[in-house]
Amino acid sequence: MVEKNRLFTPGPTSMFAHTLEIGSSQLPYNRTDQFSQITLEIIDGLKYVFGTQEDVVIFSSSGTGAMEAAVINFLNKNDRVLIINGGTFGERWVELCTVHGIPYDEMKLEPGQSPLLENLDYKLSNKKYSALLINAHETSTGVLYDTKAIGRITHKYNILFIVDAISTICADTFLMDKWHVDVAVLSSQKALALPPGISFLALNQNAKEKLKEKTSRSYYFDISEYLDNQDRGQMPFTPAIGIFMMLHERLQNIQELGIESAITQHIKISNHFREGIKKLSFSIFPNTPSNALTSIKCHKGINAFELVKKLSEDFNCIVAPCAGDLKQDVFRVSHSGDQSFKDVNFLLYAIKNCLKQYSPNTNIKKSKEG
Ligand SMILES: *Cc1c(COP(=O)(O)O)cnc(C)c1O
């Protein structure tokens, strides 16, 4: 038997057996009443996971497509945007605003740190900014920002609040309407545990008002087109039908059990892993980690990037390295998808075994051929 390939990456995440089953079926034709019905049920399910009563549109793209749709549809050259940039995904907002000529300032953070709310309040209080862009969970370091508290500030100053919630929804509590989030984006391959390829954008009335000022053009990412077609359960273009069918089942399951159950599962798995990894004298990198992911800081003498490679080569455990300056010191383990305590225990066992091959202050010794 082929040894199990254990996926502990933030996306893709390991898919549930039900999802895999649906993935092996023929596709239905999408221009039918039955498919419209499925689409409407999906939209209801998505509203539930976003925590909104308002609209959600669906794109056939990875998460970055939905981020770009947010920039194109809700921002223009007359805006001035503040971007909280705490890593790779904050940087993505910066790059998107640059490409589309949206004026912006950055609030750069130390990796793994959250923005200081007093600083943010002060920056937004002078009315210079019309929108704030954040990544609720900055997946590159595993830090979870306090979106609820930030939403109170943007609400106070009447600033459009656009949140990349891609790697937090279904893992941590996220309540779009209650937290005054105007636009939120999500994609299929994180805590929803589906293949990559579809992304979602939720928008409220404030955002719809902003839609009227739209100046930049995009044929595919024109949100008004999606909203127009959606009333009858259709989409302007062929959706990723296969992933739609899997999503339909996942959302039904999440709704039946309650989203709290998905979040509780993440809490249990992440706590179990964190207890174990601390016993191996690693430390947790961010101050306020998401339940979706643990970023682990290696102690002296252990090279994080080498460890990631060894876990894959010797144990078929796929964890994620960090980019840039963190690459040698920090690695990331996801808690999303089909994971059990047994899988986590195996990963901890694998890490422990890799450690045996280190001695203090040296690089890893050559691995035994096996
Ligand atoms: C995964 C992720 C994205 C989207 O990346 P894609 O590769 O385009 O799907 C965006 N933001 C965050 C915070 C993410 O974790």
Q: How many CB atoms lie within 10 A of CB 117?
A: 14
Rounded (to 5) percent helix, strand, coil in the chain: 40, 15, 40
Q: Is the pLDDT of residue 189 over 90?
A: yes
pLDDT above 70 as % of the chain: 95
- Contact status, residue 151 vs residue 179, Cβ threshold 8 Å: yes
Identify the pLDDT of residue 3. 58
Mean pLDDT for 90-115 is: 98
Mean pLDDT of 91-118: 98
Residue to mutate, 67, 95, 134, 139, ligand 1, most ligand atoms under 8 Å from C-beta: 139
Q: Is the CB of 233 under 6 A from ligand 1?
A: no
Ligand 1 neighbourhood includes 64 CB (under 6 angstroms): yes
Q: How do residues 221-265 score in pLDDT, each as one tens digit?
A: 999 999 999 989 999 999 999 999 999 999 999 999 999 999 999
Q: What confidence score (pLDDT) does residue 128 get?
A: 95
**Ligand 1 center from residue 365 Cα (angstroms):** 35
Q: Is the pLDDT of residue 176 over 90?
A: yes
Q: Per-residue confidence at 295, pLDDT binned at 50, 70, 90?
A: very high
C-alpha 191/C-alpha 49 separation (Å) is: 11
Give the pLDDT band of residue 4 (cuts 50, 70, 90): low
Domain boundary pick from 224, 242, 257: 257
pLDDT for res 88: 97
Number of structural domains found in the chain:
2
Instruction: Using pLDDT thresholds of 50, 70 and 90, give the confidence band for residue 281.
Output: confident
| CA of 67, closest atom in ligand 1 | 10
Low-confidence winner among 30-34, 146-150, 212-216, 334-338 (lowest mean pLDDT): 212-216
Q: Is 11 in the pocket of ligand 1 (CB under 6 A)?
A: yes
- For residue 123, the model assigns a pLDDT of 97
Does the beta carbon of 169 lie inside 6 Å of ligand 1?
no
Residues 280 and 223 in one domain: no
- Whether 361 is in a domain gets the answer no
Q: Are residues 92 and 181 in the same domain?
A: yes
Q: Which domain holds residue 126?
A: 17-257
Residue 146 lies in a domain: yes
Mean pLDDT of 341-367: 78
Q: What is the mean pLDDT of residues 329-345?
A: 97
In a 10 Å sphere around its CB, with 0-12 CB exposed, 13-18 middle and 19+ buried, how is residue 68 labelled?
Answer: buried
Q: What CATH code is carried by the domain that includes residue 269?
A: 3.90.1150.10
| Cβ–Cβ < 8 Å for 250, 194 | yes
Where a domain ends, among 257, 275, 300? 257
Tokens for 32? 């039918």
Same domain, 134 and 245: yes
pLDDT band at 210 (very low <50, low <70, confident <90, very high): very high
Better-scored residue on pLDDT, 356 or 203: 203
| Tokens read off for 56 | 């959600």
Same domain, residue pair 247 and 277: no
- Output b/e per residue, 192-215; b: 16+ Cβ within 10 A: bbbbbbbbbbbbbebbbebeeebe
Q: In what order do the strands lie in the sheet with 320-321?
A: 283-284, 293-297, 330-334, 320-321
Kindly state whether residues 287 and 345 are assigned to the same domain. Answer: yes
Share of the chain above pLDDT 90, in %: 91
Question: Residue 368: which pLDDT band, with cuts at 50, 70 and 90?
Answer: very low
Identify the pLDDT of residue 205. 98
Least confident segment among 54-58, 110-114, 354-358: 354-358
Cβ atoms 71, 215 nearer than 8 A: no
Query: What pLDDT band is residue 215 in, cutting at 50, 70 and 90?
Result: confident
Domain membership of residue 100 (yes or no) is yes
- Give the pLDDT band of residue 1 (cuts 50, 70, 90): very low
Ligand 1 geometric centre to CA of 266 (Å):
19
How high is the mean pLDDT of the chain? 94
Q: Is 166 in the pocket of ligand 1 (CB under 6 A)?
A: yes
Query: Half-sphere exposure of residue 351, counting CA atoms within 13 Å on the CB side?
Result: 28
For residues 290 and 204, membership in a common domain is answered with no
pLDDT higher than threshold 90 for residue 300: no
pLDDT tens digits for range 42-93: 999 999 999 999 999 999 999 999 999 999 999 999 999 999 999 999 999 9
